[in-house]
Amino acid sequence: MSTDHAVGSLDSEKPHGKISETRFAELQFAELTMNELTKTLIFLLLAVALVTGAFLSRPTARDFKPEEMLGTILFPLFTDPLAIKSLEIVRLNVAGERNDFHIAEVNGVWSIPSHDNYPADARDQMGRVAEALTDLKVLQVIQPEGSGIDSIAFQTLYGVIDPTDENASLGDGVGIKIILGGADDTTLVNLIVGKSVTPQQSQDMMDEDGGLRYVRVVNQAPVYVVNIEPGHFSTDFGQWIERNLLDISTFDIKEFFVDQYSFSVEYVLTNRGLQPIPRDSFIGDITLGYNASAIGADKWSLLRWMTFAGQEDEYMERELEPGRELNTDTLDAMVSALNDLRIVSVLKKPAGLAAALRTEAAFDNIGFDAAMQESMQETGFWLVQLPDLKGGTSDTKIQLLSNEGDMQLRLNNGVVYHLRFGDLAGTETEVPLQPHESPFAIDSSARMVPNRYLFITAEFDASIIPLPELREVPEIPSEGAMEELEQLMREKEAAELANQREQERYEAEMERGKHRAAELSDRFADWYYVISDDVYKNIHLTDANVFRFRMPDFDEIEPIIWEGVTPGLPEIMPEGELPVLVEHLRDLPAINFEFEQGTAEEPQLESTEGESAESEAPAELEAGEALTEPVEEIYTGNG
């Protein structure tokens, strides 16, 4: 009954003069309310009927028939690789700890949420992931007996235990969990990858590449055999980011500057409470020239070797002794490691520190708050005000120091990379995935690798850019022969034009260098980088690995050996003294005495009457004889 009809009936049945206007309104409202309640009740009954029908017609567990999956696609609804918006990979490491790796599209950019949304280089990796999971054909179906999905023994047998299960523990039964997410938090794939199918079974199934694996769909009991490569689902942070962190070419490198020192602060309890006590050791620095176009050892040159020496720790240049040379093997390995600098993790810097690093003279007016101080100390970096130890002045300035010194890469375009080596950053577990084993079966080749923090900055050094080579502009005399004046005018115009072009070239190079340095500063500002110990050992230079020792040529050491010996009287030697070379060799580490095999020519001295100089000369090495005895004993035995 419609509302209009209800109102009309009241009007037609209204007894004139017997019902008041108020009573009539009450009756009218009551009838309208009853009609609305009736309509609401009808809608509710229809809704209940629909829900009941859907419930009764829902697919049940009995409707799912695993055997019908044979030969079908495991995830038929996942067909579009572009639908992937996130990837989560979970596995256990050798210590039984969960290793969760998460990558997602954040504001249209692939990032790594598990590492503070560090930018990911995921295009190729995601392509391989999508290729591995689309059209995943079921080649065999294995169903559990008895308790079904709760059968831990069944899942252990095929290595498909969920690593996120609270009861999961280290062993060969735990698999790799892979979750692909789509838009609006939808799940496209939820899979656990287990053990490899044995070679015999693979052969029976005509699998030539041996890529068959047991897998289980989360919340399903059966185990399926599919062709999938779990290597595409790495939790290695370094495989998901841009490999060439520094983005350099070896042909751009001009110089290396190695600053050798160590610095830290210890807190000591004193009568004034807990006080910071600096612990420092300043050794010196090495400047190396580099030319990638040269061949072999000619790529390298020692430009300067400075040290703090003497009682006053005077900053002075050190000479390269005979028998010491640049270790080009170590230096070449360092360049290779920098050209492909690999990081294993990152840690985000405090916002105030990152903002300061994006400005010029970053540390001059930096606002140093508690969060920044704690962050830097925990990673092994220190902002301290120190005198200029190398400039020879007492002027102090704020410097960024690190636990284990630093190194600069100076490029031809004026860009200077500053790499500072901080504190240890925990350890990383390296576990190779062996064929036909669970993804995390215990492996004897697994090892715990220590990591270290790396602080990278970039700046522009205008002094690296060669100044413009300007031509001399001839002066035009006030009088002279017309032809000569015209020639001078032409020469002046040509010189001015050439100088203008040279100046423009110089200014353009300066601008490009400044722009590049600003780009790099922005890239590095937000992050402490974490490198493995292997990378650290390759790029951290000191006196010990920059130089190496060799058996010096005799013409290098002859003047030193006979220093203080009167020519013609070799039997006379200052009492209580050894040749200077022996004093030098005495201080060398024992490992440096393993010289290459070779021979040394004996010195030809003038003979004295009745004696032969040959009898007093140091014994020579026979051809092919290695110097294996302690050096001091050899020389003192012949002295």
Using one digit for the tens of pLDDT, what is the confidence trace for 454-490?
999 999 999 999 999 999 999 888 888 888 888 999 9
- Is the pLDDT at 602 greater than 80? The verdict is no
pLDDT tens digit sequence for 151-189? 788 888 999 999 988 777 766 789 999 999 999 889 999
In angstroms, the CA 620 to CA 480 distance is 78
Question: Which among 598, 593, 637, 604 has a CA at the least distance from the CA of 619?
Answer: 637
pLDDT band at 298 (very low <50, low <70, confident <90, very high): very high
pLDDT tens digit sequence for 323-359? 899 999 999 999 999 998 989 999 999 988 898 888 8
pLDDT of residue 30: 53
Residue written as token pair 């504190």: 423
Q: Tell me, what amino acid is at 147?
A: S
Question: Which among 320, 315, 336, 332 has a CA at the least distance from the CA of 391?
Answer: 315
In angstroms, the CA 320 to CA 493 distance is 50
In angstroms, the CA 611 to CA 592 distance is 36
pLDDT tens digit sequence for 40-63? 666 666 665 655 554 444 444 445
pLDDT of residue 189: 95
CA distances from 542 to 180, 272, 283 (A): 47, 38, 10
CA distances from 8 to 26, 27, 28 (A): 15, 13, 10
Average pLDDT over residues 509-531: 96
**Who has greater pLDDT, 457 or 231?**
457
Average pLDDT over residues 239-265: 92
pLDDT of residue 447: 56
pLDDT of residue 165: 86
**Who has greater pLDDT, 344 or 267?**
344
Domain boundaries, the chain: 3-57, 67-240, 250-461, 464-528, 551-637
Picking from 43-52, 532-541, 584-593, which range would have the lowest pLDDT averaged per residue? 584-593
Highest mean pLDDT among 283-292, 394-403, 588-597 belongs to 283-292
pLDDT of residue 622: 45
Phi and psi (nearest 5°) for 441? -65, 145
- Is the pLDDT at 22 greater than 60? The verdict is no
In angstroms, the CA 621 to CA 631 distance is 13
In angstroms, the CA 343 to CA 15 distance is 94
**Who has greater pLDDT, 216 or 149?**
216
Radius of gyration of the chain (CA): 40
- Is the pLDDT at 209 greater than 80? The verdict is no
In angstroms, the CA 427 to CA 122 distance is 25
**Average pLDDT over the chain, rounded to whole?**
77
pLDDT of residue 266: 84
CA distances from 173 to 95, 192, 442 (A): 15, 11, 11
Picking from 89-93, 157-161, 424-428, 499-503, which range would have the lowest pLDDT averaged per residue? 424-428
